[in-house]
Structure 1
Amino acid sequence: MPVSAEDLLSVVQRYWRSDHEFDDKLETSPETERFHDAWEQALKKIDQWRELMRELRAELPHFNIGHATATCDASFKCMVYTNRDAVPSDRQEGEPRSRRWAVVGCLSILAPVYTVYGVQYDYYKGREVIAARIFIDPLLPEMQAPAEVVARKIEATYGAEALPRDIAEFRIPLIVERKEPPETTLFHALFTSEPENLPL
């Protein structure tokens, strides 16, 4: 059954607040309690997610596969990523010295939806990342084949539905980690508020 932005908003309102009422209190908000409970239940199925990552390693042997799940986010996350590639020697002044990209698969723990997005990192000085660009749809051409594999595996394993971009970008009146209205979207509430922050 297709998901709607309004239905998903009613779901995420159970886990994220629209105010800072509990910021300076010792007690935990009801929303945070529900979020922790959701993770407690989800972590009982972590072995299934690890198996999905083993299958990705077998199907994508020329890529690195990593676990990127963080319980401050609302999703299991895996990464398919490259090693850093040197930018050609005829690079122009100001262009990066090297570049790497990652495809990230996210399965929400709050609703039966998933997303696959890409991140490209530019390195200018040694390991220092100066620029990170997010690609949701469309992905860069080199990201598309591994992204299709990740999407297919998540759908086959979990029966989750891909969240369309227009719904993912739906603005919501909630605070998700460091994201606040008007920047907060369903993507942030269902998956991650910092899509570029990966353990590469």
Structure 2
Amino acid sequence: MREVESEPMPISAESLLAVARNYWRSDHAFDGRLERSPETERFQALWEEALERMGEWHMLMDELQAALPRFLIGNATATCDACFRCSVYMEREPLRSNQGNEQLTRRQVVVGCVSILAPVYTVHGAQYDYRGEERIADRALFEPLPPEMRAPAEIVARKIEARFGVEAVPREIAETRIPLIVGPREPPDTTLFHALFTGWPERVP
């Protein structure tokens, strides 16, 4: 999270890619080396600055819990990502099993992300299938979200905007492919979403 400037950066694929290039590389030149790349140095310094405002992030989660009392609210932030993340866990629901006695359930999660690289955010979903307590499948969900996820997603979006003054990244811009390596994502699969937020959108604790 960063202080919002008086002249906000216009949201465009070009401007966001220019920012992302400061923190992600397009090659593996520093793999296996003891020294960190300049991009990694900048990324970690930015996280050190951002973590000083973790209290404000926890305040957001308190607001979400008050606004969504029927759901479990979690902090899914990880400093390998480029964002603060919160999660709204919906109740597990049973799934039909093709093998009779298996107990299969599904849980959906609304995920709010506030980038530390630029004053932007996004809200997406994650879906998990379980056999008993074992997670057997996961996938990320993007707009349009399933109907049952839309109301909590709208609340997450409103609360993020009100507290941090950030702007949502349109899906068509978030899906722009970029020539950078972000965690497990490499070109041609890397998108601006991965660079600004997380390379693991389907994974929430």
Q: 1:141 to 1:38 in 2, by over 3 A?
A: same
> For 1:113-158, what per-residue CA distance to the aligned partner results, in whole angstroms no more than 9, with x for missing partners?
00000111111x2122222222110001010000000000000011
1:48 and 1:59 map into 2 onto residues whose CA distance is 17
Q: How does 1:175-190 map to 2 (within 5 A)?
A: 175-190=181-196
1:150 and 1:76 map into 2 onto residues whose CA distance is 13
TM-score of the two chains, using structure 2 as the length reference: 0.92
**Residue 72, structure 1, aligned to residue 77, structure 2:** no
Partner of 2:11: 3
Which residue among 13, 26, 45 is the counterpart of 1:37?
45
Q: How does 1:151-170 map to 2 (within 5 A)?
A: 151-170=157-176
Answer whether contact 1:101 1:119 (CA < 8 A) is retained. Answer: yes
Partner of 1:134: 140
SS state at 1:80 partner: strand
> For 1:21-54, what per-residue CA distance to the aligned partner results, in whole angstroms no more than 9, with x for missing partners?
0001110100000000110111111101000000
Structure 1: 5+ residue stretches without partners: none
Answer whether contact 1:175 1:184 (CA < 8 A) is retained. Answer: yes
Q: Alignment length, in residue pairs?
A: 195
Answer whether contact 1:69 1:78 (CA < 8 A) is retained. Answer: yes
Partner of 2:28: 20
TM-score of the two chains, using structure 1 as the length reference: 0.94
Over aligned residue pairs, what C-alpha RMSD do you find? 1.4
- Of all paired residues, the percent bearing the same amino acid is 63
Partner of 1:172: 178
Partner of 2:68: 60
* Aligned AA (2:44): H
2:135 and 2:195 map into 1 onto residues whose CA distance is 26
1:112 and 1:188 map into 2 onto residues whose CA distance is 15
